[in-house]
Amino acid sequence: MDDNNCGCWAVLKRGVCKSSASRDSANTIPRTSLVYDTATETRYLNASNRELYPPNEAHLSSDNPDPPPSDNKSPCQLLQFTFQELKSATGNFRPDSILGEGGFGYVFKGWIEENGTAPAKPGSGITVAVKSLKPDGLQGHREWVAEVDFLGQLHHPNLVKLIGYCIEDDQRLLVYEFMTRGSLENHLFRRTIPLPWSNRIKIALGAAKGLAFLHGGPEPVIYRDFKTSNILLDSEYNSKLSDFGLAKAGPQGDKTHVSTRVVGTYGYAAPEYVMTGHLTSKSDVYSFGVVLLEILTGRRSMDKKRPSGEQNLVTWARPYLADKRKLYQLVDPRLELNYSLKGVQKVSQLAHNCLHRDPKSRPTMDEVVKVLTPLQDLNDLAILSYHSRLSQQGRRKKKPEGSQQLSNTQSKSIRGSPLNTGKQRCR
């Protein structure tokens, strides 16, 4: 069965949904908390570290502060936690249970009982990730509402599951399913062991399915913050999108785009969106292309530590993507020759198409999924090809035994053209 069909699309209403299990009980978000407050919004918009333009330079804004409707028929089953419950669940927000920190605040590991909101002993019940908004949060209440609003109603194997929330005085917390392997960012850039090629493909495909689901629903959603730190991984490297704080309802009917304030993360946002504020699902496709390049190269989308011509990944990679003979020079050197030859060709071509300057020429996420799906089964590893060519040469030249062993240095020296064992051209 196609994963895309596994998702659940509740009709999106622009408001935080109530827990159906506890409707009309105290276990729902108080209505007053749902009204967007101009002061809060202004603080968020001015202070967000992810905003690309200061508010007064923003190109039009339809990020409307409409209060959400009161008739929410969504089937979401979010739990409402008390602050005390989450404090106990995380061992008083112990520093050693911190999983990470983002613009919203710290994310803690915690445990809750299987049925309900009660805290559980560490190692028992259900493991959760608790995200707490900084008291003086940069991204603030508005993102918190968007997160509950979208994730409370969208259900798909490639979207992280929001279990519940806490809203108490100034406290804003979110409770998610715990993703054992953390973020793709950690695996690509912070670990010494390189992420194997097959896992990279699996992760890219899962994330693509998540985006395809968002774009393909009756009321499309544009994610707007697609990046490696927002792709979380379970124990089997299944990827799930997290962070819907910047998500936005897509254009409806005859409309080609929504006009909105430019938010996102440097290095990932589509150029036409940054220039005009016109948002379409193709903006997400561009960001997907950037992430695909990061997966292929092991380089960050923006890296100030690199020489000036290499700091912006897309700018650096474009000439390689456009030249089939140079493709292999893009591959993460830490993979050595442990990658699929055809896979690299297809992934590079796909990244190139996703990064097309004309948004209309970019593929849809459904098309991306179709390209990535067969790449999971490719076994044409560059190292096998290298060995077989070495042995052919060896037979021709009657080389002594043992010359087929590939040393580290050898593998690095031929990285630019893995099919070359001499003067042969790279196909």
Catalogue the active-site residues. Answer: 225
| Contact between residue 144 and residue 174 where contact means Cβ atoms under 8 Å apart | yes
Q: In whole angstroms, how close is the CB of 139 to ligand ATP at the nearest point? A: 7
The length of the chain, given as a count of residues:
427
182: contact with Mg ion by CB under 5 A: no
Return d(Cα 146, Cα 128) in angstroms, integer: 20
Q: Which secondary-structure segment (H or E) carries 348?
A: helix 341-354
Q: In whole angstroms, how close is the CB of 98 to ligand ATP at the nearest point? A: 8
Cβ-proximal residues to 224 (8 Å cutoff; 6+ apart), any chain: 246, 247, 248, 263, 264, 279, 283, 284
> Binding partner of residue 183 among Mg ion, ligand ATP, none, CB under 5 to 8 Å per kind?
ligand ATP
Number of residue whose CB is nearest ligand ATP: 102
Query: CA distances (Å), 33 to each of 37, 56, 71, 170, 264, in order?
Result: 9, 27, 16, 11, 25
Structure tokens at 351: 């990244």
Q: In whole angstroms, how close is the CB of 294 to ligand ATP at the nearest point? A: 14
Closer to Mg ion at the Cβ: 80 or 230? Answer: 230
243: contact with Mg ion by CB under 5 A: yes
Return d(Cα 387, Cα 404) in angstroms, integer: 6
15: contact with Mg ion by CB under 5 A: no
Q: In whole angstroms, how close is the CB of 398 to ligand ATP at the nearest point? A: 54
Q: What radius of gyration, in Å, describes the C-alpha atoms of the chain?
A: 23
> Binding partner of residue 222 among Mg ion, ligand ATP, none, CB under 5 to 8 Å per kind?
none
Q: Which residues bind ligand ATP (CB under 6 A)?
A: 50, 99-104, 107, 129, 131, 160, 176, 178-179, 182-183, 185-186, 229-230, 232, 242-243
> Binding partner of residue 178 among Mg ion, ligand ATP, none, CB under 5 to 8 Å per kind?
ligand ATP
Q: Which of 230, 297, 301, 353 binds Mg ion (CB under 5 A)?
A: 230
Structure tokens at 241: 């999108």
Q: What are the beta bridge partners of residue 110?
A: 128
Q: What are the beta bridge partners of residue 111?
A: 127
Closer to Mg ion at the Cβ: 85 or 294? Answer: 294
102: contact with Mg ion by CB under 5 A: yes
Q: Is 73 annotated among the ligand-binding residues?
A: no
Return d(Cα 205, Cα 109) in angstroms, integer: 27
Q: In whole angstroms, how close is the CB of 104 to Mg ion at the nearest point? A: 7
Residues interacting with Mg ion, by CB under 5 A? 102, 230, 243
The binding site for ATP consists of 131
